[in-house]
Chains A and B, each alone.
Chain A
Amino acid sequence: MASGRTRAARLALCGSLLLLGALQVAHGEDRARPLVLWHSYRGAEEAALLQTLATLAAREPSLTVEVIAVPNEALASKLTTAIPRGHGPDLFLFAHERIGGWARAGLLASLDAQVDAAALADYLPETIPPLRFEGRLYGLPLAVKSAALFYNRALVPTPPATTDELFALVAPLRARGVVPLVYESANFYFHAAWHLGFGAELLAPDGSFHFESPASVAALGFVADLQARGVVPEEVSGALVASLFNDGKAALAISGPWFTGELARGLDFGVAPLPLVSATGRAASPLLTDEAVLIPGTVRDLAAAVRVARWLTGPEAAITRAVVGRQVVAARAAWDDPRVAGDPVLAGFRAQLATATPMDNRPEMRTVWEPAQLALKKVLRGAASPAEGARAGARRHASIVRPDPPPVSPTLYIAALAVALLAGAGFVAWRVVAALRERGAWREARRGWGWIGPAMAATAILILFPFVVGLTLAFFSHREGNWSFVGLGNFADILSARGYGLLEPLSFYYALLVTLLWTVLNLALHVGIGLALALLLARPVLALRPVYRVLLVIPWAVPNYITALLWKTMFHKQQGAINGLLGALGFGEVGWFSSFPAAFFANLCTNAWLGFPFMMVVALGALQSIPKDLYEAADVDGATAWAKFRHITLPLLRPAMIPAVLLGLVWTFNQFNVVYLVSGGEPDNGTDILISEAYRWAFARQEQYGYAAAYAALIFVLLLGWSIFSARLARRVEEAS
């Protein structure tokens, strides 16, 4: 790839970079620099990693490694951004499933010349094939992660060996008020075990996914049955799995090695392989993730990096990682150590390894998740039969992998751009000349621009440039590191809603309607609540005023990542506080994320809660500038409270509130966090707004940046139109006052 992306970026950036080149600071090459390793391990796994590297540094001072811990959510995007520009690490730890895409994009160094077959024999044989892509080896295995069956020995002395035995447990356990099994049933990661157990393929050799194969449909029917017959509860989240299993309210749980860290101390549990699917006689086969040491293609000293990788994956380090970090390590020799082999949890997961299926590392795999999940959720919430759910999944998949728009020759576009630039420059020059011809205009312009100049310049460089690049990307198509120029193709696809109906989720027009509804309702709530509270707080006599004032701004101060997730929990069907409250008032349970109005309402509540303090603070500040004597005069005239609000407060508040409302509108229009974290687009992407659609195209769905950029450009055009309109509006207010 060195790639498509850089090349396209260069194409777009050339001119600006020349300008900036003068400022460029050369990065000195430091030969004695230690090797740099990026990882996102935390807790015990991180401690074990640091411990093994400290041992290595003590033994071989020439192999010192600087360890950089990166947030998990940022690691992948940081790698794909930094490596092509020469700022990547020398090694990094990552799950094997991205190997295909990254190898194809040229981000990874192949290790075939460095690691021979004899060396590979040091690892458990199941752990090597996932690290190969198109015949070449790209990493060394650290540890494996897969789901397995956790069982509470007090409730289920021996775990069920088949699904028939599982169903047989229902009556006796339910009689004791215990849920037989908890796992995140709506998550395809876990569902894949049944999918494979029913004999369906993960990904066909040609990279396609057969949603509607009989086995795949049978697996969907099976989980619907699990739920209908009371084996698993509805809407199970990861937090619920831990809480039910810990409290002894669930006898079995399906989860991975990380789950042991969440279990209560003193809980008597065991880990066993998942049961056989009685209908097929095959074992339910959980997905296997191979955590590996990978080396970027840009590494300076490949041999040294490989030596560190060999040490980290070697038996001695593996024993530390198994004992301290509780990892199911891939080094064969480590399992001879009694501390590793004798650990019942590790042994349980090692036993599961035999029937687990490695996640497919081809890039096509990444297109399967969203549609597979869509099918699963549709079936689980009773909105579709297994066959219908599968069909909906297949349809979604087809829209995601729809062919690119045909590449076009850029010549015409470059010519059009040149003409447009010339015309634009001419127009601006004409406007400038026309404006300056008036008497005294020159002096006024010089003064005005002198005052706004510094702010303008700073903004122009740092915002204009990324903006132009972003706009340029909209004319390219991108899939897995390959760029091609498609002109207006992305726009044509989006605006013609190619691949889906005009008014169904994923269509631009549908998302636009949702976004408009979302923006209008949110703004009304923000301004309404904010203004009402500000007016109350501004009352001349009010006890506890400072307390209220501070309490009411807290939603604004707490990172919205955490509060959005809290709100999501509050809307949980069985455990959530909202349904608890409704239940106390005599209402029935509401499935907040299974219908559009309910899910939209949940998003709206969360965002209203997050957003009103800003409007409140703005209004509170502006209320102070209203001279008190205006009210006194009104009192003398015997005006009512409403008349005073209508004729004094509102008009005088307006100049300060209008910018806040305009900005609030833009922010709400692009408010991504709440939609993404609370409803997550449920049901079936129905509550996604334009920006969350753009995000999905950019970071899931084959990373179609070009398509996402076209979305962003359309959002921009819409808001630009609006802001020109609103600027007129603001000017009218200005002139009226």
Chain B
Amino acid sequence: MRRVAKPTIAARSAALWSATWPHLVLGVASAAVLYPLLWILKMALSPSQAFDPTPNPIPTAFTLDNFATVIGTDAPGGGWLFGRQLANSLIVSGATACIGLALATTAAYAFSRFRFPGRQSALTAFMVTQIFPGVVMTIPLYILLDAIGLLDSLAGLVLVYSTTSIPFATWMLKGYFDTIPKELEEAALMDGASRFGLFWRVVLPLSRPALAVTGLFSFMTAWNEFILAATFLGHPRSYTLPVVLQRYVGEYGTDWGYFAAGAILTSSVVMALFFVLQKHLVGGLTAGGVKG
């Protein structure tokens, strides 16, 4: 009893150390992450369009002009162009994430739970699609979209993005489904539940973290892609935000102020999304249900 009431100095400093060292590590990591990012902020807040090559990342000037210019761009024919482009990006990325997830979850579940002829080949085939370098894909995709009349349309872009995200999403989700103990479902099946009902009511709710990670990833792939978007989309009204950002990069120089402001605006949407999804990321599996 005495020992508990009066811990030795060594024990106390050990407790203190174990409470602080994670913060030391996380603090250093956060600083390493933030250092280059502060620079983006500095350039976005700077009145000049020059790239800032100095090692000091602390903003030395403060103006919101760059943000105002990037946001306030109007279409030549009237209308709020940036708003429209933001909406385009949200629609394309949101639809990509939804369609990709919808098709991938069922496939991933089957890969995780069923053993059927052709399973291994199909799984390998999905991985194979991630392998072929995109360098030579642009022209064939252009021809394909042109043939089905979806060139220069957001639907065409969604089609391309979601099909490229399905294999990735399937593999990721399959991995997560594998971590959910099967015994739970087997018990329910004995009780006469249907496979799909089980999948829908038991497995999906349990895999919220996985769905959140995978959905976020599909969303971000679409959100940041610009090579295909710039090639397929034919009008500033239909541009997505990465194409808009790319417009600030010129042949002889880049408007770094606008580019940085645009990059901050673009990534803030992803940050907000991540913030919202956080609780799903960590709160998916709690007590009870999954204990093996």
Residues of A within 8 A of B (CB): 9, 13, 17, 20-21, 23-25, 27, 40, 42-43, 50, 67-74, 77-78, 81, 85, 87, 95, 145, 237-240, 242-243, 246, 256, 258, 261-262, 264, 432, 435-436, 438, 441, 444-445, 447-449, 451-452, 454-456, 458-459, 461-463, 465-467, 469-470, 473, 529, 532-533, 536-537, 539, 542-544, 546, 548-563, 565-567, 569-570, 572, 575-577, 580, 609, 614, 617-618, 620-622, 624-625, 627-629, 652, 655-660, 662-663, 666-667, 670, 672, 691, 694-695, 698, 705, 708-709, 712, 715-716, 719-720, 723-724, 726-727, 731, 734, 737
B117/A555 in contact, CB under 8 A: no
Instruction: Tell me the smallest distance from the CB of A14 to a CB of chain B, in Å.
Output: 12
Q: What is the interface of chain B mostly: helix, strand, loop, or mixed?
A: helix
Q: Is B122 an interface residue (CB 8 A)?
A: yes
Q: Give the complex CA separation of A449 and B42 in angstroms.
A: 53
Query: Assuming the A-B contacts A78-B230, A558-B37, A691-B133, are A655 and B175 also in contact, with contact meaning beta carbons closer than 8 angstroms in the complex?
Result: yes
Instruction: Tell me the smallest distance from the CB of A171 to a CB of chain B, in Å.
Output: 27
Closest to A470 in B: B136
Q: List 20 A-B contacts (CB under 8 A).
A: A20-B148, A71-B249, A73-B230, A73-B246, A74-B231, A87-B151, A242-B51, A261-B49, A444-B116, A452-B122, A458-B163, A463-B164, A558-B263, A559-B224, A624-B282, A624-B284, A656-B210, A659-B175, A666-B130, A727-B123
Q: Is B259 an interface residue (CB 8 A)?
A: yes
B174/A659 in contact, CB under 8 A: yes
B247/A71 in contact, CB under 8 A: yes
A656/B179 in contact, CB under 8 A: yes
Q: Which residues of B contact A74 (CB under 8 A)?
A: 226-227, 230-231, 243, 246
Query: Assuming the A-B contacts A9-B139, A656-B175, are A550 and B231 also in contact, with contact meaning beta carbons closer than 8 angstroms in the complex?
Result: no
Q: Is B220 an interface residue (CB 8 A)?
A: yes
A454/B136 in contact, CB under 8 A: no
A551/B175 in contact, CB under 8 A: no
Q: Which residues of A contact B263 (CB under 8 A)?
A: 558-559, 562
Excluding A455-B170, A465-B140, A666-B130, 18 further A-B contacts by CB distance (< 8 Å) are A9-B139, A17-B147, A74-B231, A87-B152, A87-B234, A243-B52, A258-B252, A436-B117, A449-B118, A452-B106, A452-B170, A463-B164, A559-B224, A575-B53, A617-B213, A621-B176, A662-B171, A708-B136
Give B276-290 interface residues, CB cut-off 8 Å to A.
278, 281-285, 287, 290
Give B1-50 interface residues, CB cut-off 8 Å to A.
22-23, 25-26, 29-30, 32-37, 39-40, 48-50
Query: Assuming the A-B contacts A557-B271, A723-B131, are A624 and B53 also in contact, with contact meaning beta carbons closer than 8 angstroms in the complex?
Result: no
B284/A67 in contact, CB under 8 A: no
Q: Which residues of A contact B291 (CB under 8 A)?
A: 627, 629
Top 7 closest pairs, chain A to chain B, by CB: A25-B149, A448-B116, A451-B110, A435-B117, A466-B140, A74-B230, A239-B51
Q: Give the complex CA separation of A709 and B267 in angstroms.
A: 33
A625/B179 in contact, CB under 8 A: yes
B103/A454 in contact, CB under 8 A: yes
A238/B281 in contact, CB under 8 A: no
Query: Assuming the A-B contacts A73-B246, A455-B166, are A445 and B51 also in contact, with contact meaning beta carbons closer than 8 angstroms in the complex?
Result: no
Q: Give the complex CA separation of A627 and B184 in angstroms.
A: 14
Closest to B129 in A: A463
A238/B253 in contact, CB under 8 A: yes
Interface string of B162-200 (1 = CB under 8 A from A): 111011101110111011100000000000000100000
Q: Give the complex CA separation of A80 and B179 in angstroms.
A: 49
B110/A448 in contact, CB under 8 A: yes
Instruction: Tell me the smallest distance from the CB of B151 to a CB of chain A, in Å.
Output: 7
Q: Which of B76, B133, B164, B274 has the most CB of A within 10 A?
A: B133
Instruction: Tell me the smallest distance from the CB of A512 to a CB of chain B, in Å.
Output: 14
Q: Which residues of B contact A723 (CB under 8 A)?
A: 124, 127-128, 131
Interface size class of B (residues with CB under 8 A): 35 or more
Instruction: Tell me the smallest distance from the CB of B259 to a CB of chain A, in Å.
Output: 7
Q: Is B94 an interface residue (CB 8 A)?
A: no
Q: Which residues of B contact A448 (CB under 8 A)?
A: 110, 114-119
A71/B230 in contact, CB under 8 A: yes
Instruction: Tell me the smallest distance from the CB of A24 to a CB of chain B, in Å.
Output: 6
Q: A237: which of B53, B122, B251, B266 is its contact (CB, 8 Å)?
A: B53
Q: Which residues of B contact A20 (CB under 8 A)?
A: 144, 147-148
Instruction: Tell me the smallest distance from the CB of B47 to a CB of chain A, in Å.
Output: 10
B36/A566 in contact, CB under 8 A: yes
B212/A559 in contact, CB under 8 A: no
Q: Which of A69, A554, A556, A559 has the most CB of B within 10 A?
A: A559
Query: Assuming the A-B contacts A72-B249, A145-B252, A715-B131, are A563 and B36 also in contact, with contact meaning beta carbons closer than 8 angstroms in the complex?
Result: yes
Q: Give the complex CA separation of A40 and B243 in angstroms.
A: 12
Q: A435: which of B104, B118, B195, B259 is its contact (CB, 8 Å)?
A: B118
Q: Is B120 an interface residue (CB 8 A)?
A: yes
Instruction: Tell me the smallest distance from the CB of B161 to a CB of chain A, in Å.
Output: 10
Q: B210: which of A238, A562, A621 is its contact (CB, 8 Å)?
A: A621
Q: Which residues of B contact A720 (CB under 8 A)?
A: 128, 131
Q: Which residues of B contact A552 (CB under 8 A)?
A: 26, 29-30, 33
Closest to A715 in B: B133
B55/A580 in contact, CB under 8 A: yes
Interface string of B84-128 (1 = CB under 8 A from A): 000000000000000000011011011100111111101111111
Q: Give the complex CA separation of A652 and B175 in angstroms.
A: 11
Q: Which residues of B contact A712 (CB under 8 A)?
A: 132-133, 135-136
A85/B128 in contact, CB under 8 A: no
A625/B176 in contact, CB under 8 A: yes
Q: B143: which of A9, A264, A533, A580 is its contact (CB, 8 Å)?
A: A9
Q: A559: which of B138, B179, B227, B266 is its contact (CB, 8 Å)?
A: B266
Instruction: Tell me the smallest distance from the CB of B57 to a CB of chain A, in Å.
Output: 8
A95/B251 in contact, CB under 8 A: yes
Query: Assuming the A-B contacts A17-B147, A452-B107, are A68 and B235 also in contact, with contact meaning beta carbons closer than 8 angstroms in the complex?
Result: yes
Q: Give the complex CA separation of A243 and B63 in angstroms.
A: 19
Q: Which residues of B contact A659 (CB under 8 A)?
A: 171-172, 174-175
Q: Is B65 an interface residue (CB 8 A)?
A: no
Q: Give the complex CA separation of A569 and B114 in angstroms.
A: 51
Q: Give the complex CA separation of A25 and B178 in angstroms.
A: 44
Q: Is B141 an interface residue (CB 8 A)?
A: yes
Q: Give the complex CA separation of A712 and B40 in angstroms.
A: 34
B245/A559 in contact, CB under 8 A: yes
B171/A663 in contact, CB under 8 A: yes
Q: Is B78 an interface residue (CB 8 A)?
A: no
B290/A627 in contact, CB under 8 A: yes
Q: Which residues of B contact A708 (CB under 8 A)?
A: 135-136
A432/B140 in contact, CB under 8 A: no
Q: Give the complex CA separation of A734 and B171 in angstroms.
A: 13
Instruction: Tell me the smallest distance from the CB of A733 to a CB of chain B, in Å.
Output: 9
Q: Which residues of A contact B116 (CB under 8 A)?
A: 441, 444-445, 447-449
Q: Give the complex CA separation of A559 and B243 in angstroms.
A: 12
Closest to B206 in A: A625
A238/B117 in contact, CB under 8 A: no
B117/A444 in contact, CB under 8 A: yes
Q: Give the complex CA separation of A455 and B230 in angstroms.
A: 26
Q: Is B54 an interface residue (CB 8 A)?
A: yes
Closest to A652 in B: B179
Q: Is B248 an interface residue (CB 8 A)?
A: yes
Instruction: Tell me the smallest distance from the CB of A440 to a CB of chain B, in Å.
Output: 10
Q: Give the complex CA separation of A536 and B30 in angstroms.
A: 13
Q: B255: which of A43, A242, A620, A705 is its contact (CB, 8 Å)?
A: A43
Q: Give the complex CA separation of A553 and B40 in angstroms.
A: 16
Q: Give the complex CA separation of A238 and B140 in angstroms.
A: 36
Q: Give the complex CA separation of A660 and B210 in angstroms.
A: 12
Q: Is B275 an interface residue (CB 8 A)?
A: yes
Q: Is B270 an interface residue (CB 8 A)?
A: yes
